[in-house]
Amino acid sequence: MSRKVTIDPITRLEGHGKIDIFLNDNGTVDRAYFQVPELRGFERFAIGRPAEDMPQITSRICGVCPTAHHMAATKALDDLYNVDPPVAAKKVREMLYNIFIIEDHALHFYYLAGPDFVVGPHAPKAERNILGVLGKVGMEIGLKVIGTRKQLRELMVLAMGKAAHPVFGLPGGISKPIAKTDQQRFIDAADRAVEFGQFSLQLFHDVVLKNKTYVDHILSDIYTHETYYMGLVDDNNRVNFYDGNVRIVTPEGKEFSRFAARDYLDHMAEHVEPWSYIKFPFLKQVGWHGFKDGPDSGVFAVAPLARLNAADGMATPLAQAAYEHYFETLGGKPVHHTLANSWARLIELLQAAERMRELANDPEIVNPEVRSMPVETPVEGIGVVEAPRGTLFHHYRTDERGVITAANLIVATQNNAARIAMSVDTAARGLISDGKIDDGILNMVEMAFRAYDPCNGCATHALPGQMPLQVRVYDMKHSLIQEIRRD
Amino acid sequence: MKQKTVVIGLGNELFGDDAVGLLAVRRSAQIAPGQADYVETGLHGVALLDLLIGYEKAIIVDAVKTGRHPAGTILDIETGRLNPIDNPSPHFTGIPELIRLARELNVCFPKEILIVGMEVVNTEDMGTEMTGEVVAALDQLTERILSHVP
């Protein structure tokens, strides 16, 4: 008898999602679907509002990565008003943005990936959480993580007004300069962040890379897809989170295209599937040929693994050394193993910390000249940043008063949607062979997308402690025959 | 100077009734400034730990959707009654998990945490329109918050 298995909602994922697994009569997987409820109504909501409100409005879309939306919106406003911010403003923006990357990546590694890699995918479910992680590595590390994040968030509040909803970015600059008397705080925090980045990579080496089972998981075919990769790079093709050109490499690792954010519509198009609300972006020049690997499929990936593949190296020395070790260990560029995202994320964390340190020590960041006034009539603006979860595009059109007439957001999880769908399907097929679906197997299916750290944009409306995981098994007629709950 | 009590409004002003916690905390801050620290936030999960550390008492105000009460009903939720979930995420790390984590880490964390919720209707569609019953009960929610502020 064919069965349908639903995992809804998914644990340890930013936002809501659902997996449906359809089983054949012989207990193997016919097809697994990863469904993402798309953000509803944003375009409609934005129309008729002043473009200058977008950094505030879009940062409220989600409590998880508000700074990424705030910065993409701010950069779209620079473009909309054709205004170039002063050097100090750009440097302060980049420093704050790197601080955000550090604290967000730390959150992912210790809270989301940690349970899989530190506690282990087959550990009892009650241990697969942050407390289980701390039980293994020591409570003092928990204090280190919380202390480092808290210090970074306090600096974000100092510079941006609010960590959750920054009131900071303006077209042509930022709302206030960094006070000279505060510079040392940034320097001290940056030193601590670099040390934290090195410590986290060492922890990954000691706990994950020295454990053959975990390394086998990373290298396993069920977590591997050969696709194109996208990421922002600087003039030297090094990873950059705040600015640069979008670079795409082929599944063989060769440069496929390199373009300014403004031209993204020449390179990307969107495919729609009847079973999902989300649109699946693909490479226009290759075309949509289904959920397939290889150079003939327009599917591409974003996020840490993709960024490292799309660049020629890291922009800072310690991160560069870690980058070289990464590719040596995993068999050269590009790396196609989805679970290697976690390692790539820590290398990025280290680069963000080193870049923060460079900028914190730069005398220019306390220059009070932080605003170029916009004087041109607005028409259209496009901004791009690397959100922790991948490339994020904001695109606005306005009337001559700067009132939005059209808005389009392509968020990181959307860019990754096709590859995430492939990853879930492949993992389910590889892991479920005889109709046997236990908690450990479900968790390993979930690991396939958790590595991307997908964020589906949502409100803060779940009553704490009341959001269980539900696994529902249906027969062919969609009658419920079994229900497993994780309360 | 930091107060002993923190009142935290959770929510998102762009998702209809989800704004109710933020609005009630904003009103409370206007009526009784200086008696507590008032925070409006869209943060959730472990990020809330940053906001709670260092206080003796916390009052968390949020929209609640149980479907079991009429819209606008105020619900006092004792944190002791909430069951921790086994597989928390940063997104869904609830108060019980935060309490457990804080206890394990031995950080200075409120001994008393109250959750004041209001039953709402729509928190899914983007927009600033709120349900009439929810708006009508805002004053009552503010009074309830203030009754817990020392």
Range 41-100 of B in CB contact (< 8 A) with A: 41-47, 49-50, 53, 62-66, 77, 82-98, 100
pLDDT tens digits, A371-426: 999 999 999 999 999 999 999 999 999 999 999 999 988 888 889 989 999 998 99
Mean pLDDT of B54-60: 94
Tell me the nearest-neighbour CA distance from B150 into chain A, angstroms.
Answer: 24
Model confidence at A73: pLDDT above 70? yes
* Per-residue model confidence (pLDDT) at position A460: 29
Minimal Cα distance from B122: which residue of A?
Answer: A461
Q: How far apart are CA A315 and CA A319, in angstroms?
A: 8
Q: How far apart are CA A247 and CA A51, in angstroms?
A: 28
**ipTM score assigned to the predicted complex:** 0.81
Task: Let me know: does A386 contact A247? Beta carbons within 8 Å.
Answer: no
Minimal Cα distance from A129: which residue of B?
Answer: B87
- Residue A331 DSSP SS3: coil
Q: How far apart are CA A158 and CA A99, in angstroms?
A: 12
pLDDT band at A483 (very low <50, low <70, confident <90, very high): very low
pLDDT band at A58 (very low <50, low <70, confident <90, very high): confident
CA distances (Å), A177 to each of A38, A258, B139, in order? 37, 33, 39
How are beta strands B37-41 and A300-301 bridged, if at all?
Answer: unpaired
pLDDT tens digits, A342-372: 999 999 999 999 999 999 999 999 999 999 9
Lowest-confidence pick of A273-277, A308-312, A328-332, A346-350 = A273-277
Edge-to-edge, what's the strand order for the sheet holding A300-301?
Answer: A255-259, A245-249, A228-233, A300-301
pLDDT tens digits, A237-261: 999 999 999 999 999 999 999 999 9
* Per-residue model confidence (pLDDT) at position A14: 43
Find, among B24, B15, B25, B17, the residue nearest to A40 by Cα.
B15
How are beta strands A390-398 and A255-259 bridged, if at all?
Answer: unpaired
Taking contacts as CB-CB distances below 8 angstroms, the residues of chain A near B91 are 12-15, 64, 458, 462
Mean pLDDT of A426-431: 92
Higher pLDDT, B89 or A362: A362
Find, among A286, A375, A358, the residue nearest to A319 by Cα.
A358
* Per-residue model confidence (pLDDT) at position A277: 67
Tell me the nearest-neighbour CA distance from A234 into chain B, angstroms.
Answer: 31
pLDDT tens digits, A100-152: 999 999 988 888 788 888 888 888 877 878 888 888 888 899 889 888 988 99
pTM of model > 0.80: yes
Q: Which of B65, B105, B117 sits opposite A142 (nearest CB)?
A: B105
Higher pLDDT, A461 or A387: A387
- Residue A464 DSSP SS3: coil
